């Protein structure tokens, strides 16, 4: 029962007690109501009727909201009720595991649907304020913080187990042409291949003092989610950019198409702002090397490292305007040509033949996560230091599935 309903019912009880007191007084004296008492009786009964209607309206409204939320949860594949990951029982179970009162392992699994795109809950503007912060959500948030690819809206596939997934990849689109009367239409089929997404295991070890574990005032869940999320995110994030697919995921740069090559004799950079075809012109060319359907995607982004970002921030158009536009809204990224910019230290520095800028529809990069994060606890590993050791394990793989030019790169020009 909500606080609103409780307050209304308490008020109704007070009004009823006042009306009852009037009736009891008249009955004890064996008389009818006086004019003033009759007026008060009518007024109190009118208020009771009004309160009954309001209480019913509030209860009906709350039930409709609950029914709508339950229906939406079913559509999103989110479990509700006692078994949900946000339930207090689950939180207490995690606490018991951390204190050593449960088993030696604890699986933190996602509550969301099997396949979803945007994991970002980092800002209220991106919907963060509407998302419950369970332990898995905290883990993923910290993982996203350290991986620009996951921030950018890569497609994430969550599976319960780790068997190999065969995902179709597009290597060429169909084409069409004018056909004269009575002539055969040339066949043009799209070209497909397959990319296998496995489940490479990432792990980190975190040690916590016994005093920290037993202090009930410490946000232990927050500490562990931050440490594990960032460690796993850093490891996976590096492979998501440059992994070669040999014993690790295929990075987005590995399969991205060549977009623009810089001028020679500028150490792989962007050349002179005053020279046609250099400076801002190169970024404009890279922007338009990605066709409109991909550019219009909500997951179309620029990705580069901080050093490259520092160089590009100084580039001006021929009209003297900086091509880099800082954000005026807290929590939202800066833009180049209207598209958000994210930085990732794993993208190459500006250099000869180096792919230092990534641009395109990042949703065409698929990340497969097998299950959730598995925590394991050991009291023996650092027994002599009175430390409790936690091991966090995550299985994931990734690859670009659209090789037709959804994502392109800027490559530094050759030396003169």
pLDDT tens-digit readout, 269-309 = 998 888 888 999 999 999 999 999 999 999 999 999 999 99
Average pLDDT for 195-203: 91
pLDDT of residue 83: 41
Q: What is the C-alpha to C-alpha distance for residues 120 and 150, in angstroms, rounded to an integer?
A: 8
pLDDT of residue 106: 74
Q: Which H or E run contains 157?
A: strand 155-159
With 70 as the cut, is the pLDDT of residue 104 above it? yes
pTM of the entire predicted model: 0.68
Helices 3-28 and 35-76 pack at an angle, to 10 degrees, of 160
Lowest mean pLDDT among 61-65, 81-85, 336-340, 370-374: 81-85
Let me know: does 384 contact 190? Beta carbons within 8 Å.
Answer: no
Q: How confident is the model at residue 357 (pLDDT cuts 50, 70, 90)?
A: very high
Q: How confident is the model at residue 129 (pLDDT cuts 50, 70, 90)?
A: very low
For the chain, what percent of residues have pLDDT higher than 70?
81
With 50 as the cut, is the pLDDT of residue 127 above it? no
Q: Who wins on pLDDT, 302 or 106?
A: 302
Q: Which H or E run contains 156?
A: strand 155-159
Let me know: does 334 contact 327? Beta carbons within 8 Å.
Answer: yes
Average pLDDT for 329-355: 91
Q: How confident is the model at residue 86 (pLDDT cuts 50, 70, 90)?
A: very low
Average pLDDT for 51-57: 80
Average pLDDT for 88-95: 63
pLDDT of residue 323: 92
Average pLDDT for 141-149: 84
Burial class (CB in 10 A: 0-12, 13-18, 19+), 174: exposed
Lowest mean pLDDT among 4-13, 139-148, 216-225, 362-371: 216-225
User: Which strands make up the sheet holding 300-304, listed edge to edge?
Assistant: 257-261, 407-411, 355-361, 300-304, 339-343, 335-336, 324-325
Q: How confident is the model at residue 10 (pLDDT cuts 50, 70, 90)?
A: confident
């Amino acid at each position: 029962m909500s606080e609103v309903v409780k307050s209304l019912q308490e008020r109704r009880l007070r009004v009823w007690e006042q009306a009852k007191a009037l009736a009891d007084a008249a009955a004890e004296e064996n008389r009818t109501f006086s004019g003033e008492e009759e007026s008060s009786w009518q007024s109190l009964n009118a208020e009771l009727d009004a309160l009954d209607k309001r209480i019913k309206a509030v209860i009906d409204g709350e039930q409709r909201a609950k029914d709508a939320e339950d229906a939406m949860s079913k559509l999103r594949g989110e479990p509700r009720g006692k078994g949900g990951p946000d339930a207090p029982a689950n939180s207490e179970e995690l606490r018991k595991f951390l204190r050593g009162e449960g088993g030696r392992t604890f699986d933190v699994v996602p509550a969301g649907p099997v396949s979803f795109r945007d994991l970002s809950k980092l800002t209220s503007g991106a919907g963060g304020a509407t998302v419950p912060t369970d332990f898995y959500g905290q883990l993923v948030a910290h993982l996203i913080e350290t991986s620009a690819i996951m921030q950018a809206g890569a497609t994430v596939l969550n599976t319960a187990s780790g068997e190999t997934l065969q995902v179709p990849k597009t290597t060429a689109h169909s084409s069409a042409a004018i056909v004269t009367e009575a002539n055969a239409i040339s066949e043009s089929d799209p070209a497909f291949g397959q990319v296998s997404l496995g489940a490479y295991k990432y792990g980190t070890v975190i040690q916590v003092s016994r005093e920290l574990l037993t202090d009930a005032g410490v946000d232990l869940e927050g500490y562990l989610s931050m440490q594990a999320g960032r460690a796993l995110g850093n490891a996976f994030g590096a492979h998501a950019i440059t992994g070669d697919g040999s014993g690790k995921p295929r990075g987005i740069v590995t399969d991205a198409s060549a977009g623009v090559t810089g001028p020679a004799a500028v150490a792989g950079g962007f050349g002179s702002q005053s020279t046609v075809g250099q400076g801002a012109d190169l970024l404009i060319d890279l922007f338009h090397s990605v066709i409109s359907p991909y550019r219009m995607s909500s997951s179309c982004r620029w990705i580069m490292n901080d050093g490259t970002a520092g160089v590009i921030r100084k580039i001006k158009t021929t009209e003297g305007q900086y091509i880099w536009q800082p954000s005026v809204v807290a929590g939202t990224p800066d833009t180049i040509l209207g598209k958000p910019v994210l930085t990732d230290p794993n993208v190459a520095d500006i250099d000869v033949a180096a792919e230092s800028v990534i641009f395109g529809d990042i949703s065409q990069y698929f990340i497969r996560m097998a299950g959730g994060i598995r925590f394991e606890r050991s009291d023996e590993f650092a027994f002599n230091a009175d430390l409790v050791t936690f091991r966090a394990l995550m299985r994931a793989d990734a690859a670009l599935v659209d090789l037709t030019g959804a994502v392109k790169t800027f490559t530094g020009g050759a030396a003169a």
